Amino acid sequence: MDALAKAEAYLKTDRSLSGGRTLYNLLPGKNKAFQNILARFTDTQPNLAKLHYEIAKAVKMPERKLKMLLQQPIANTTATKAPVEDAPQPLTLDDKLIAFNEKDADYQAAKQLAKDLGLKPKSRKKADVYEALTTARTALVKKK
């Protein structure tokens, strides 16, 4: 794609300051002084107008054609959207209970799980909490 076609595509579809800055830096007939000024431009209408004019000038686009392109609305590009991954479903209390294992369980997490399930262990000791969870898990597995 030649520089004129790239400039036309930019003016038809993008017209942003960052896109124009990138395009202008790639053009062969660019003005180095304007390129330095462009690095400090902010995103305002007068700055965009200067950028569009300098892009057209660098690719030798007639000013009439530039005005015609700028008067047209920005064309929608048919960008493909990245597939959205489904968020993993949070584990239910039953799933957490089935996944419970005494050997690699965290006591604080086990205590919270017992509280969430409404279990009443004999005491708050680790062995009693684990025993209550194991009993509840066994009952749940038999139920399913």
- pLDDT, tens digit, for every residue of 79-89? 556 666 666 77
Task: Please give the residue that has the higher pLDDT: either 18 or 91.
Answer: 18
User: How much of the chain exceeds pLDDT 70, in percent?
Assistant: 92
Q: What is the pLDDT of residue 109?
A: 86
> What is the spatial distance between Cα 111 and Cα 121, in angstroms, rounded to a whole number?
10
Q: Nearest Cα to 28, choosing from 5, 2, 50?
A: 2
> What is the spatial distance between Cα 54 and Cα 66, in angstroms, rounded to a whole number?
11
> What is the spatial distance between Cα 126 and Cα 136, in angstroms, rounded to a whole number?
15
Alpha-helix runs per DSSP H in the chain: 3-13, 17-26, 32-38, 45-58, 63-71, 93-99, 107-117, 126-143
The pLDDT mean for the chain works out to: 87
Q: What is the pLDDT of residue 98?
A: 82
Per-residue pLDDT tens digits for 26-83: 998 899 999 999 999 999 999 999 999 999 999 999 999 999 999 999 887 665 566 6
Contact 58, 71 (CB under 8 A): no
Alpha carbon 30 to chain centroid, angstroms: 34
